[in-house]
A = this chain, B = another copy of it.
């Protein structure tokens, strides 16, 4: 069955559900209601039911969702059940933190190549991945079938790196640089922002 076209808002909520479901699974909790999910995630339970109903009827009235089944199903929907190679450009502090974090998760989405433009970084290793010169990006993307790029370079370099990623055939970009980036329509771009969570905290502080 072909999945219908789903709004980006729904797709962005699925990893949030997934994270909490994985936590429940670790706690040996086997079923969860949309009400529980809604309370924990501070979302409308009806919205959650609607989001999940796009992909079939998973929940059972009065019982809820089977945690393990829903984890597998969301991974399948997000296509996290297949190997997906990621390249990261910018082996600074944030790039290193992301690479280390990724190394310890057992997801199939893996950072397989890391690039930088600083000569002193080239050849050093983050985990088991050797930092390559940025000039090798295109070649490595092809050889290793890299589909996703993460940008953790300074703002001034970020657009240039994005252009190189697009040129090399990368299909999706996660950008951490605080700029408004331009990419062609066939490339999917997401901007990550470390400051929004911090800003919403201020409201609650006496």
Contacts and interface: CB of A to CB of B under 8 A. Distances in A.
Q: Do most interface residues of chain A lie in helix, strand or loop, or is the interface mixed? A: mixed
Interface string A71-95: 0000001111000101000001110
A197 interface: yes
B202 A79 contact: yes
Contacts of A192: 194, 197
Contacts of A31: none
A98 to B, nearest CB: 6
Contacts of A178: 101
A107 B14 CA distance: 32
A204 B203 CA distance: 34
A50 interface: no
Interface string A191-206: 0111111111111111
Contact of A15 (B80, B102, B150, B199): B199
